[in-house]
A and B are shown apart, each in its own frame.
Chain A
Amino acid sequence: MSVIEGDRLHTVSGEELSKARIAAGRVVLWGSALVLLIMVLVQALHSARQIPFGFENWRPVLYAYFFWAFALCVSRVLIYGEQGKKALFVLPAVLFVVSMVVFPLVFGLYISFTDWNLSSLTGRKFNGLDNVRQMWTDPFYWNALRNMVVYVFAILAEYAVAFGLAMLLNAQIVARKFWRVIFLLPLMLSPVAISWMIGKSMMEVRFGPLARLARWLGWENPSFFGSPEIAKLTIMLMDAWNFIPFMMIMILAGLQALPKEVLEAAKVDGASAWQSFWRVTFPLMLPVSVTAIMIRIIFKLKLADIIINVTAGGPGGATDSVTSFIFREYRDRSNVGYGTLLAMFYLVLIVIFMTALLKISDRIVRRATGTG
């Protein structure tokens, strides 16, 4: 990585790097790379049972990677001097993310085309497109994907509630901070705790307070996870309870940043509260709303904890999200190869979906704010 012209922060350095220093930098860089390469080779051959010596596991290779990463940083300074020191800001994070994401992703791409069951003794074997074919005819996976669509659409309702709450908090009320803290609390709780607190105890058919309330309201036999529709709705409500504060806080920040003059002007012009909301507040809030909804969608696509702990996907897969489905695929069947393929396919869908969504929302915001 090198630094090119056009820094926001200009630095002037008249230093002259000696030839020996640059050469030393090259030696450090290539030497450490060589060490890493040798370690990888030895261990790969050892685990393929080609050579008798080697390490017990891949941990030493990890250390070699650390050593190489450190040497890379040192060599930047040695070779490029002051300019190299600037690269040190970004380099650690880049190396970390590359090793933790790019490498597992590539590895994952490979194992998703293998038949690999961790509990079987045969180990992995390449099976081409068999996993894809299995996925194509797996009704439970497609069902989980359809559920995700429903779950994502529920965000619109969450958004409406969050907007309402933000308006409430932005109204002239006493002890605003007190209300804000209370409204924020659900966000602090872990989905696992919520699973027990609400899903398993408050909704317990005999003694749970919510079941009692439902009976009092005239629901004869309240079962929150009995039928597929109600179970799905219950999961949505629990997740909404958990995450509404998040959107609410973002929208509240947007509301507080609105220019006061515009709202005053609308009032002077005789607009009713209803009109001034739809004609002034809502359009001005569009950019913040879009950001809040986008981030919420990203979090929603990871939805799993509550489902795993409350319904385990039931009844009959009605509440399954993709993540919880793959989780059980691994937990119950140790099917790493197939599970990884499902996850990879999900990633592809998400990338396509999010890119399209970004484009569309960008256009909506531009049209509404008149900058397009």
Chain B
Amino acid sequence: MADLELTTDDFDRQRRIRWIVSRIVIYGLLITWAAICIFPIFWTVTTSFKIAPDVMKGNLIPYLDFMPKDRGWESLGLSPDTIFRTSTVREEFMKRFMNSVVISMSASFLAVVLGALAAYGLSRFSYRFGFMRNSDISFFFLSQLILPPVVLALPVLVLYKEMALLDSRIGMIAIYTLMVLPIVIWIMRDQFMAIPVELEEAALVDGLSVWGAFLRIIVPLALPGMVAAFILSLVLTWNEYFFAALLTSTDAKTLPVMIASQTGSQGINWWSMAALSTAGIAPLVLVGIFLERHIIKGMTAGAVK
């Protein structure tokens, strides 16, 4: 009897120790990877408040290692004492920033509209377009995903030049819409498939047309999916560099192109570069923090059944 008690006690203690060890390992790994994820962002943000000696000494922690100065932000015209003064750098930056905002927002919106309509049609009706049936049309849309941008880039460049669309916001919106359209269709098809057809059938009996049923019944139900698709598109289009580098030169230049062109030039101060990078990534970092739910929803649509 005593023996048995001892062993259960032993067993209990062993389990306890194993549990504690596993906790330490799990949280240790979590903290390590979190540091890997955060450090580059932390580094960039803090570097934008450094001056030359801080960079050279490798000071890391603000207030402890070094006193933050806003030299980097001053050079962008965004520091407290320069924000109300005119600054050509800030104007340049704001122009690029607005280009990025307008282009990525409109492209994502357009892609969600076109993609949602197509996905709905494909999930409800049977089409025939020459030899193409529904599955072929779906495949036609989704196969755009594997099309590398470089294949389209040069022909589109030449065509845009002929149509005077080079270096225009419209041209960029069109190409970005095309880029995210397959992803939107992928997400929305999944959404519409999950909505029972009986809902529309009831609406049709009540006298709504097909389009009326779609707009009044289905769109409100599928709105969360549309938001997810929109935000995911926003992330992709905001960060896009390749097309922007080829198809824009002065007017429609987006933020990534501006950052890239600054990186290339020698002798640019680390603090101004860090300030520029921080400003460039800040919107999406905020999106990532506050709209994380939607991004995950968009990414996992259709992947997990």
Contacts and interface: CB of A to CB of B under 8 A. Distances in A.
Contacts of A180: 292, 296
A291 B241 CA distance: 26
A197 B114 contact: no
B126 interface: yes
Interface string B269-304: 010011001001100110111001001100110011
A86 B146 CA distance: 29
A41 to B, nearest CB: 15
Contacts of A253: 296, 299-300, 303-304
Nearest to B214: A89
B126 A5 contact: yes
B155 A111 contact: yes
B4 interface: no
A347 B123 CA distance: 29
Given A171-B26, A189-B281, A193-B259, A105 B211 contact: no
A107 B159 contact: yes
Q: Which of A101, A188, A288, A347 has the most CB of B within 10 A?
A: A188
User: Which of B148, B264, B285 has its CB near the most chain A CB atoms (within 10 A)?
Assistant: B148
Interface stretch (A20-28, A128-136, A337-345): A337-345
A246 interface: yes
Contacts of A295: 303
Contact of B29 (A92, A168, A304, A305): A168
A59 B144 CA distance: 25
Contacts, number: 312
Interface stretch (A29-37, A198-206, A222-230, A260-268): A198-206
Nearest to B110: A96
B187 to A, nearest CB: 13
Contacts of B27: 173
Contact of A207 (B44, B55, B145): B55
B150 A100 contact: no
A330 B161 CA distance: 15
Instruction: Using C-beta atoms within 8 Å of the partner chain, give the interface range for chain B.
Output: 35 or more
Contacts of B120: 89
A8 B193 CA distance: 10
Given A185-B288, A340-B155, A96 B177 contact: yes
Interface stretch (B9-17, B62-70, B197-205): B197-205
B50 to A, nearest CB: 10
Nearest to B47: A201
A160 to B, nearest CB: 14
A184 B288 contact: yes
B145 to A, nearest CB: 6
Contacts of B178: 96-97, 100-101
Contacts of B122: 89-90
Interface in A83-142: 85-90, 92-94, 96-97, 100-101, 103-105, 107-108, 111
A48 interface: no
Contacts of B174: 100
Interface in B258-274: 259-260, 263-264, 270, 273-274
Interface residues of A, number: 104
Where chain A touches its partner, the secondary structure class is: helix
Given A57-B163, A197-B40, A9 B151 contact: no
A101 B242 contact: no
A116 B31 CA distance: 54
Contact of A330 (B152, B159, B246, B281): B246
Given A58-B163, A183-B37, A197 B44 contact: yes
A153 interface: no
A149 interface: no
Interface string A68-89: 0000000000000010011111
Given A90-B121, A94-B129, 19 more contacts: A1-B127, A6-B126, A57-B164, A87-B121, A89-B121, A93-B117, A93-B185, A111-B154, A171-B26, A181-B292, A188-B281, A188-B284, A190-B240, A190-B280, A196-B259, A207-B58, A295-B303, A304-B150, A309-B264
Leading 10 A-B pairs by shortest Cβ distance: A89-B121, A190-B239, A108-B155, A93-B118, A188-B288, A253-B300, A104-B155, A90-B121, A192-B256, A188-B284
7 contacts: A93-B115, A168-B30, A308-B260, A322-B148, A322-B150, A330-B246, A343-B153
Interface of B: 26-27, 29-30, 33-34, 36-41, 43-44, 47, 55-56, 58, 60, 114-115, 117-118, 120-129, 137, 140-141, 144-159, 162-165, 174-175, 177-178, 181, 185, 197, 200-201, 204, 209-211, 214, 235, 238-242, 245-246, 256-257, 259-260, 263-264, 270, 273-274, 277, 280-281, 284-285, 287-289, 292, 295-296, 299-300, 303-305
